[in-house]
Amino acid sequence: MANLFDVSTYINTEPLTFTAGDRVAWARSDLGNDYSPSAYTLSYTARLEGSGSTVINLTAVASSLDYHVVVPAATSAKFVAGRYHWQMYIKRNSDSERLTLDSGTFIVHANKVTAITDPRSDVKITLDAIRATLAGRATKDQMGYSIAGRSISRIPIPDLLAWRDSYAADYAREVRKDRIKNGLGHSGIIKTRFV
Model confidence pTM above 0.85:
no
3-state secondary structure of 95: coil
pLDDT in single tens digits along all 195 residues of the chain: 566 677 777 888 999 999 999 999 999 999 989 999 999 999 999 999 877 788 999 999 998 889 999 999 999 999 988 899 999 999 999 999 999 999 999 999 888 777 566 678 888 888 999 999 999 998 888 887 778 778 888 899 999 999 999 999 999 998 888 888 877 765 555 555 555
Structural contact between residues 136 and 157, judged by C-beta atoms closer than 8 angstroms: no
The whole-angstrom separation of Cα 81 and Cα 40 is 31
pLDDT at 172: 92
The whole-angstrom separation of Cα 58 and Cα 63 is 16
Structural contact between residues 151 and 163, judged by C-beta atoms closer than 8 angstroms: no
Going by C-beta distance under 8 Å and a sequence separation of 6 or more, which residues neighbour residue 112?
119
pLDDT at 2: 60
Crossing angle of helices 122-135 and 157-181, rounded to 10°: 140
Burial label, 129 (beta-carbon count in 10 A; 0-12, 13-18, 19+): buried
Domain 7-109 classified CATH 2.60.40.10? yes
Instruction: State the distance between the two ends of the chain, measured CA to CA, in whole angstroms.
Output: 41
Q: What are the residue ranges spanned by the domains of the chain?
A: 7-109, 122-181
